[in-house]
Amino acid sequence: MPARGPIGPCRTMKTIKGPAIFLAQFAGDAAPFDRLDSIAEWAAGLGYRGLQLPTGPGSFVDLELAASSQDYCDEIVGTLAAHGLAVTELSTHLQGQLIAVHPAYDMLFDGFAAPEVRGKPRERQQWAARQVTLAARASRRMGLAAHATFSGALAWPYFYPWPQRAAGLIEEAFAELARRWLPILDAFDEAGVDLSYEIHPGEDLHDGATFERFLDAVGGHRRANILYDPSHLLLQQMDYLQFIDLYHERIKCFHVKDAEFRPDGRSGVYGGYRDWIDRAGRFRSLGDGQIDFGGIFSKMAAYDFPGWAVLEWECVLKHPEDGAAEGARFIRDRIIRVADRAFDDFAAANVDMARLRALLGIADQ
Per-residue pLDDT of the chain (365 residues; tens, 9 = 90+): 444 444 444 456 789 999 999 999 999 999 999 999 999 999 999 999 999 999 999 999 999 999 999 999 999 999 999 999 999 999 999 999 999 999 999 999 999 999 999 999 999 999 999 999 999 999 999 999 999 999 999 999 999 999 999 999 999 999 999 999 999 999 999 999 999 999 999 999 999 999 999 999 999 999 999 999 999 999 999 999 999 999 999 999 999 999 999 999 999 999 999 999 999 999 999 999 999 999 999 999 999 999 999 999 999 999 999 999 999 999 999 999 987 766 666 667 777 888 888 889 998 77
Q: How far apart are the first and last CA of the chain?
A: 41
Specify if 8 maps to a domain: no
| Other CB atoms within 10 A of residue 239 CB | 12
Specify if 1 maps to a domain: no
Burial class (CB in 10 A: 0-12, 13-18, 19+), 30: exposed
d(CA 17, CA 88): 9
Q: pLDDT at position 347, please?
A: 60
Specify if 276 maps to a domain: yes
Specify if 53 maps to a domain: yes
Residue 56 sits in a domain whose CATH number is: 3.20.20.150
Specify if 365 maps to a domain: no
Specify if 182 maps to a domain: yes
d(CA 205, CA 200): 7
For the CA atoms of 214, 220, 226, 232, the dihedral, rounded to the nearest 10 degrees, stands at 30
What's at 249, amino acid-wise? E
Q: pLDDT at position 11, please?
A: 58
CB under 8 Å to 108, separation ≥6 — which residues?
A: none
Output the DSSP codes for 1-36.
----PPPPTTSPP-PPEEEEEE-TTT--SSTTTTSH
Number of domains in the chain: 1
List the Cα angle 175/179/180 in 5-degree steps: 120
Q: pLDDT at position 219, please?
A: 98
Specify if 292 maps to a domain: yes
Range of the domain at 125: 17-359
Does this model's pTM top 0.75? My answer is yes
Specify if 241 maps to a domain: yes
- Under DSSP, the state recorded for 159 is S
Q: Tell how many helices (H) and how many strands (E) occur in the chain.
A: 13, 10
